[in-house]
C-alpha cells in the first residue's frame, strides 16, 4: 500500500524549490523595489485603496483565492483519472505556471495604479482588447458566484454545525474591523482575542447547529422552517434539497452586501481572522499526515485506499462517463495548479492593499503555493477515504467532494488526537471559510470589471452604454444584484452539476489571458525581457482550455444533452443550450484577444509600432 505522505513530500519538494529559487528570480526580473510608492499609499481612500500589513493582506489574498475549487477539483480528478495524474499536475504545474501567473498579475497591477488586467492589456493593445478581456472576466465571475454559493449550500446542509460557526466568525470579523480601524486597538492582543473567538465558534456551532428546512441533521439542530411553520420546503425552486437551495440565494445576497461595504468593515478583518482557521486546517492536515505516518497515531493507517487507483486510464473511471484525461484533467483541477480568478483578485483587491512591492513575492507567488498545499491535502483526504464516499458525477462531482474532504480530513486529524467527528466538522468549516471569502470577493471584482467596461464618468461611456444605464451597470448595489440574479438562474436550472466543467474551462482560459497580459506588459516594458516564463504557460493553457470548452459545448451539451436527450425537461435543456452558447462565446472572446495580443508582441519585438492604438482610458 502506498503511504499518503508521498503526496505531501512530492508537493513540498517542488514548492520549496520554486519559492526559494524561481520566485527570487522573478522578483529580480520584474524589479520589485520598496522605494516605489504602491497604489495603496498613493491613492489611499479608506474604501478600496487601504494599505494592509503583510500578514493581514496574505490572509485576505489566500482566503480569497482558495475557494472550493482546489478541494473539489483534485478530489474529482483523482477519483476519475487516478491520484498520480492529479498529483503531477499540482506538484509541477503550480510553481511553474500558477504561482507565476499570480505573481505577474499582482506585479503588473501595482505598476499600473492597482488597475485590473483588463485595463493593463488595454494600455498596449487598445480599447477593443481591454473590453474583450473585461467581458470575459465578468462572465467568469458570474460562474464563480454560482458554483461557490452552491457548494456553501451543500456544506451547510451536510453540516449544520458549520452554519452557526460561520455566522459567529462573520460577526467577530465585523467587531474586529471596528476594533482595528475605528478604535485603533493594539494589533497583536486583538489578534489573539478574536482568533480565539473564531475557534470558540467551532464549539458553539457543534453545540447549536442550525438549518433552514428539515433534513437528516444531528440531534438538537434548530430548524427555522419548523419554528416558523414554513413546511418541508417543497416550494423552494431547484433540483437539490430545499435546505441547499434555500441557502444558495441567501449566500449570494450576503456576497452582494459584503461586496458593497468598505474593505475595512468586513473584507480585511474577516479574511485575516479566517486565515488562521484556514492555516490551521491546511497546516494541521499536512502535519497530521506526517505525524500519523511516522508515529502511527491515526485511527487507521494513512495509506491510499485500495478503491482509488494510481491511474484509471486515459478515459478515466467508467462511472463518470466519457471523460478523456486530455484536456479535461487540466480543466477539472481548476485552482490547485492555475486559476484565472486569482488574476482578478491579485489585480483587483490585493494590489490596492499592498503595503510595499517586496510583499508581492510572498503574497503572489507564495499564496498560490499555499493553495497548492490545500489541493494536496484534498487529494490526501480522497486517498484516505477512498471512493466509497464519492459520488462521481460526470459534470463535476461537487456533491462528492465534501464527504471526502470532511470524512478523510477527520481521519487524518486523529493523528493529532482530534476526535474524528470533531475533525470532520472542523474540515467542513475550513471549506466554508474559503468559499465565503471567495464569493463576496468575486462579486466585488465583478463590479470592478464593469466599472472599467462602462467608465466612471456621467456621460456616454466608451462601451456605448447611456449615462443612466452605465450608472446602473457599475452601481455598488445594482451591479451585485445583476450578478447574483444571473448566477441564481444558472444554479436552479436543474443542470447545476455541469457548471463545474464550464467554470473550470472558463477559469483556466482566463488564466491564459492573464498570462497574455503579463507577456504583453513585459514585452512593451523592455525589448530585452525574456517572455518564456509567461509565454509558454500561456500557450499551453490556451490550447488545453479551448479544447476543453469545445468538448463541453459540442459533446457534453450539444450531443449528449440536446441531441441524445440527456437533458430532460425544458429547464435542463435551456440550461444546456445556455452553457453551450456561453462556452462558445468565451472561446471566441479569448481567441480574438489572443490574436490582438500576439499582433502587439510581433510588432514590438520587430521594432515596429503596435498593431492597435493603446487605450487612454
Asked whether residue 299 carries a pLDDT value surpassing 60, the answer given is: yes
What are the DSSP E strand ranges found in 279-347? none
pLDDT of residue 536: 96
The Cα–Cα gap between 320 and 498 comes to: 12
Q: Is pLDDT at 389 greater than 90 in this prediction?
A: no
- Lowest-confidence segment of 50-59, 186-195, 373-382, 445-454 by average pLDDT: 445-454
Assigned domain for 184 exists: yes
Q: Is residue 611 part of a domain?
A: no
Residue 495's pLDDT band, with cuts at 50, 70 and 90, is: low
Q: Per the domain annotation, does 448 fall within a domain?
A: yes
Q: Can you give the pTM of this predicted structure? A: 0.85
For 318-352, b/e burial (b = at least 16 CB within 10 A) is eebbebebebbbbbbbbbbbbbbbbbbbbbbbbbb
pLDDT for position 34: 92
Residue range 60-64: mean pLDDT, rounded: 81
Angle between helices 69-81 and 398-413 (to 10 degrees): 100
How sure is the predictor about 608, in pLDDT bands with cuts at 50, 70 and 90?
low
Torsion of CA 495, 497, 503, 504, to 10 degrees: -150
Q: Please give the Cα distance from 64 to 175 (Å, whole number).
A: 20
> Mean pLDDT across the stretch 304-315?
89
Q: In the 8-state DSSP scheme, what is residue 37?
A: P
Calpha distance 573→569 (Å, rounded): 6
How confident is residue 461, by pLDDT bands cut at 50, 70 and 90? very low
Give the mean pLDDT of 301-325.
Answer: 84
| pLDDT tier at 617, thresholds 50, 70, 90 | very low
What's the angle, vertex CA 407, arms to CA 237 and CA 392, rounded to 5?
55
Residue 102 pLDDT: 97
585 part of a folded domain: yes
Q: Which of 122-131, 240-249, 379-388, 470-479 has the lowest mean pLDDT?
A: 470-479
Range of the domain at 71: 4-606
Total tally of structural domains belonging to the chain = 1
Element (H, E) at 393: none
pLDDT of 237 reads: 82
Instruction: Give the H/E segment covering residue 616.
Output: none
Assigned domain for 261 exists:
yes
pLDDT value at position 396? 47
The burial class, CB within 10 Å (0-12 / 13-18 / 19+), for 258 is buried
3-state secondary structure of 527: coil
What pLDDT, on a 0 to 100 scale, did the predictor assign at position 438?
A: 78
CATH of the domain at 172: 1.20.1740.10
Q: Give the pLDDT confidence score for residue 611 in this predicted structure.
A: 47
Q: What is the pLDDT of residue 616?
A: 43
Lowest-confidence pick of 80-94, 346-360, 418-432, 567-581: 567-581
The SS3 of residue 447 is: helix
Q: Is residue 614 part of a domain?
A: no
What is the β-pairing status of strands 210-211 and 222-223? Answer: parallel
Query: For residues 38-75, b (16+ Cβ closer than 10 Å) or e, as one string?
Result: bbbeeeeeeebbbbbeeebbbbbbbbbbbbbbbbbbbb
- Please report the pLDDT score of residue 388 as a whole number: 59
- pLDDT tier at 467, thresholds 50, 70, 90: low
Does residue 494 surpass a pLDDT of 70? no
The pLDDT of residue 462: 46
Position 157 pLDDT exceeds 80? yes
Q: Would you call the peptide bond into 411 cis, given omega within 30 degrees of 0 as the criterion? A: no
| Strand, coil or helix: 525 | helix
pLDDT of residue 521: 94
Identify the pLDDT of residue 381: 92
Three-state DSSP class for residue 200? helix
Give the DSSP H or E segment for 263: none
> Does residue 367 lie in a domain region?
yes
609: exposed, middle or buried (C-beta count within 10 Å: 0-12, 13-18, 19+)?
exposed
- Quote the pLDDT of residue 401: 62
Least trusted range by pLDDT, from 101-110, 144-153, 469-478, 511-520: 469-478
Question: pLDDT: is 131 or 196 the higher one?
Answer: 196
Strand partners, 223: 211
pLDDT of residue 27 exceeding 90: yes
How does pLDDT run across 391-441, given as a tens digit for each residue? 444 344 555 666 678 889 999 999 999 998 888 888 888 888 878 877 888
**Per-residue model confidence as pLDDT tens digits over 500-541:** 778 888 889 999 999 999 999 999 998 888 999 999 999 999
Q: Under DSSP, is residue 211 helix (H, G, I), strand (E, B) or coil?
A: strand
Helices (H) and strands (E) in the chain, counts: 25, 2
Per-residue CA distances from 490 to 259, 287, 393, 559 (Å) = 21, 39, 18, 20
Q: What is the mean pLDDT of the chain?
A: 86
Give me the percent of the chain exceeding a pLDDT of 90: 41
Amino acid at each position: 500500500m502506498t503511504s499518503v505522505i508521498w503526496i505531501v513530500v512530492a508537493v513540498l519538494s517542488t514548492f520549496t524549490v520554486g519559492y526559494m529559487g524561481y520566485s527570487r528570480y522573478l522578483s529580480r526580473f520584474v524589479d520589485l523595489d520598496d522605494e516605489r510608492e504602491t497604489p495603496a499609499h498613493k491613492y489611499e481612500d479608506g474604501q478600496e485603496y487601504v494599505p494592509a500589513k503583510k500578514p493581514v493582506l496574505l490572509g485576505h489574498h489566500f482566503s480569497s483565492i482558495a475557494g472550493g475549487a482546489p478541494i473539489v477539483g483534485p478530489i474529482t480528478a483523482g477519483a476519475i483519472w487516478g491520484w498520480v495524474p492529479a498529483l503531477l499536475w499540482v506538484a509541477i504545474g503550480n510553481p511553474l505556471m500558477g504561482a507565476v501567473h499570480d505573481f505577474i498579475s499582482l506585479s503588473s497591477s501595482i505598476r499600473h495604479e492597482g488597475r485590473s488586467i483588463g485595463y493593463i492589456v488595454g494600455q498596449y493593445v487598445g480599447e477593443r482588447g481591454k473590453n474583450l478581456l473585461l467581458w470575459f472576466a465578468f462572465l467568469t465571475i458570474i460562474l464563480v458566484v454560482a458554483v461557490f454559493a452552491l457548494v456553501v449550500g451543500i456544506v451547510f446542509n451536510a453540516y449544520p454545525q458549520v452554519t452557526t460557526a460561520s455566522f459567529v466568525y462573520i460577526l467577530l470579523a465585523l467587531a474586529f474591523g471596528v476594533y482595528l480601524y475605528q478604535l485603533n486597538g493594539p494589533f497583536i492582543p486583538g489578534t489573539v482575542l478574536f482568533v480565539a473567538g473564531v475557534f470558540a465558534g467551532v464549539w458553539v456551532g457543534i453545540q447549536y447547529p442550525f438549518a433552514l428546512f428539515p433534513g437528516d441533521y444531528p440531534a438538537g439542530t434548530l430548524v427555522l422552517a419548523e419554528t416558523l411553520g414554513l413546511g418541508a420546503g417543497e416550494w423552494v425552486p431547484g433540483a437539490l434539497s430545499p435546505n441547499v437551495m434555500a441557502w444558495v440565494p441567501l449566500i449570494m445576497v450576503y456576497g452582494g452586501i459584503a461586496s458593497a461595504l468598505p474593505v475595512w468593515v468586513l473584507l480585511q478583518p474577516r479574511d485575516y481572522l479566517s486565515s488562521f482557521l484556514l492555516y490551521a486546517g491546511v497546516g494541521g492536515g499536512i502535519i497530521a499526515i506526517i505525524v500519523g505516518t511516522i508515529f502511527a497515531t491515526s485511527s487507521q493507517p494513512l495509506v491510499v485506499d485500495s478503491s482509488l487507483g494510481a491511474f484509471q486510464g486515459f478515459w478515466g473511471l467508467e462511472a463518470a462517463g466519457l471523460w478523456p484525461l486530455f484536456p479535461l484533467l487540466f480543466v477539472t483541477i481548476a485552482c490547485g495548479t492555475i486559476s484565472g480568478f486569482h488574476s482578478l483578485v491579485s489585480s483587483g483587491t490585493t494590489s490596492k492593499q499592498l503595503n510595499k512591492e517586496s510583499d508581492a513575492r510572498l503574497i503572489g507567488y507564495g499564496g498560490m503555493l499555499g493553495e497548492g498545499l490545500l489541493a494536496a491535502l484534498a487529494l490526501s483526504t480522497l486517498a484516505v477515504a477512498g471512493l466509497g464516499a464519492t459520488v462521481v458525477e460526470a459534470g463535476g462531482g461537487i456533491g462528492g467532494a465534501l464527504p471526502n474532504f470532511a470524512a478523510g480530513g477527520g481521519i487524518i486529524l486523529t493523528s493529532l488526537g482530534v476526535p474524528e467527528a470533531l475533525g470532520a466538522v472542523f474540515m467542513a468549516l475550513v471549506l466554508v471559510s474559503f468559499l465565503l471569502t471567495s464569493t463576496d470577493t468575486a462579486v466585488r471584482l465583478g463590479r470592478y470589471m464593469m466599472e472599467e467596461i462602462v467608465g466612471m464618468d456621467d456621460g456616454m461611456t466608451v462601451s456605448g452604454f447611456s449615462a443612466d444605464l452605465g450608472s446602473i451597470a457599475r452601481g455598488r448595489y445594482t451591479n451585485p444584484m445583476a450578478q447574483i440574479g444571473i448566477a441564481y438562474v444558472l444554479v436552479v436550472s436543474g443542470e447545476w452539476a455541469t457548471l463545474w466543467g464550464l467554470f473550470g474551462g472558463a477559469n483556466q482560459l482566463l488564466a491564459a489571458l492573464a498570462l497574455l497580459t503579463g507577456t504583453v506588459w513585459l514585452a512593451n516594458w523592455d525589448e530585452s525581457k525574456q517572455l518564456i516564463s509567461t509565454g509558454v504557460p500561456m500557450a499551453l493553457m490556451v490550447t488545453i482550455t479551448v479544447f476543453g470548452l469545445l468538448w463541453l459545448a459540442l459533446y457534453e451539451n450539444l450531443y449528449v444533452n440536446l441531441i441524445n436527450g440527456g437533458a430532460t425537461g425544458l429547464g435542463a435543456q435551456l440550461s444546456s443550450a445556455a452553457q453551450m452558447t456561453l462556452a462558445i462565446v468565451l472561446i471566441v472572446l479569448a481567441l480574438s484577444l489572443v490574436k490582438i495580443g500576439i499582433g502587439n508582441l510581433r510588432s514590438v519585438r520587430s521594432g515596429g509600432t503596435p498593431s492597435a492604438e493603446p487605450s487612454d482610458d
